[in-house]
Structure 1
């Protein structure tokens, strides 16, 4: 059996790495299973994509569709056209997509049009915010998926409510946590660690990239000012996403404790996260990593598709109103942040469960 695995953007690489490794082990054990890895090229910056293949031990993709750049529609169209050509040239038994990026949706549609079954890893998560491109990608992908691999009971229930039969839902856990746990001993200090004389628990990590936070000049300025003024002068390390860097130009935001740095590799970024006093973000995936590492996290969003990071983990959703930052920081510096726990099945064995299910679903025999 041949499985085509899709990777398109930075979060995908952390999610596919353990699946690739698990499939390799299953093949080595004599199972009639193999994979073809396709990089859509949705992210093409070295720090946003290439480093992940090197650091996470992912083999070079069998093909790169080089479909980066352009508007949402242009990128979706380019991926679909090129992926169709890929599938016609290299027939497959199953297309496996992960996450909620444009590549996820585009490749799922293309596969189904060619009558190829689709498996979705991280299925069922919902923010209920249709202004987010990712939410549209999730809804479309799950509406045409055959096999749903989920990270939480909340995701399971979302799928049930949408009419998905129980027999197609597989609660397996979180492959991104597989990658995190496997690589924790390999984290490496980025240059800023020594340059800013950082110490464990003595700095904050900040990431921002959501359009609602970074595309409106006044909103971005107010958020930054509140974060700086309530930071108790501890260093703020801000790996700047390309989208955010463009919008920060001309705002004149600076402070002695604010350090803008280039995007970091996976091992460097998580080194900083693991030792941070606090992470402030508008990302979804980072809140999962902080939950498992027990690091306090503030999410600058009005909704989240990962509620278990709040109900179980160390994350707090405070919204996008800059005035909410001060009380959250005060709670942190008083030492009153919740301890949090780890959600069920976030144990580093998710990829093996996924591969085991695929073997059972397709009744794969040993050679």
Structure 2
């Protein structure tokens, strides 16, 4: 199966670090970075530290209002989806990149899988909340981190499949735990002792 994954900001890089290796074991993944939060040095640090492969495509869409940014991403994703012809588009979270990826996939007739589906703040004044709701309603596979997220989708009448798969951030924490433990000597190197700090 050919998977097109859309990412655009640091939290999505972190989430992809848990999912991408699993996808690539059995599928062909093409990773597209929209550029929503693009800082070459900071992005490189995240990709290197998390062992995430470099994106296959970079769209370079960063500045602008939510509406203009989303519109430019949508326009940039359309030809990529047409060229790649994926079997599924995977999106994470609630950003403008998430919304653009979901809309581009849905409009191209490609099934959309939403990781972190069903999360709600119930505050429609937040752009992220609007993105969450819209993405869930145009996704075909809804991958929820919690029972509460599943219930939110059921209350909204979102058609399934709806699956509770757990929190991808926990998966990332478990993945990097050995690396983090190797670096825990920082406190010792600074001469800080238990009970000597606030």
TM-score scaled by structure 2? Answer: 0.90
Judging by fraction of residues, say which structure has more helix.
2
Secondary structure class of the residue paired with 1:141 = helix
Q: 1:130 aligns with which of 124, 134, 141?
A: 124
- Contact 1:9–1:48 (CA under 8 A) maintained in structure 2: no
Deviations 1:33-82 (A, max 9, x none): 21111111111124653211111111111101111122212211121111
Report whether the alignment pairs 1:94 with 2:88. Answer: yes
Map of 2:161 onto structure 1? 168
1:158 corresponding residue in structure 2:
152
1:42 paired with 2:36, answer: yes
Matches of 1:162 and 1:201 in 2, distance apart? 50
Structure 1 portions without partners, runs of 5+? 28-32, 204-233, 235-367
Question: Which residue of 2 is the match for residue 66 of structure 1?
Answer: 60
Aligned counterpart, 2:176: 183
State the secondary structure of the residue aligned to 1:173: coil
**How far apart, in 2, do the equivalents of 1:199 and 1:44 lie?**
38
1:10 aligns with 2:10: yes
Match of 2:112, SS state, is: strand
Give the 3-state SS of the residue equivalent to 2:128 in structure 1: helix
2:73 to 65, 79, 82: 79
Structural mapping, 1:1-367, within 5 Å: 1-25=1-25, 27=26, 33-46=27-40, 48-165=42-159, 167-187=160-180, 188=183, 234=198
RMSD: 2.2
TM-score by length of 1: 0.50
Which blocks of at least 5 consecutive residues in structure 2 are unaligned? none
Aligned residues: 196
CA distance in 2, matches of 1:123, 1:200: 41
Conserved? CA contact 1:101–1:134, under 8 Å = yes
Displacement, 1:151? 0.5
- Residues 277-302 of structure 1 deviation map (CA, whole Å, 9 limit, x = unaligned): xxxxxxxxxxxxxxxxxxxxxxxxxx
Contact 1:6–1:104 under 8 Å retained in 2: yes
Deviation by residue 1:131-165 (Cα, 9 ceiling, x = unmatched):
21111110110111111000100000000001124
Deviations 1:269-326 (A, max 9, x none): xxxxxxxxxxxxxxxxxxxxxxxxxxxxxxxxxxxxxxxxxxxxxxxxxxxxxxxxxx
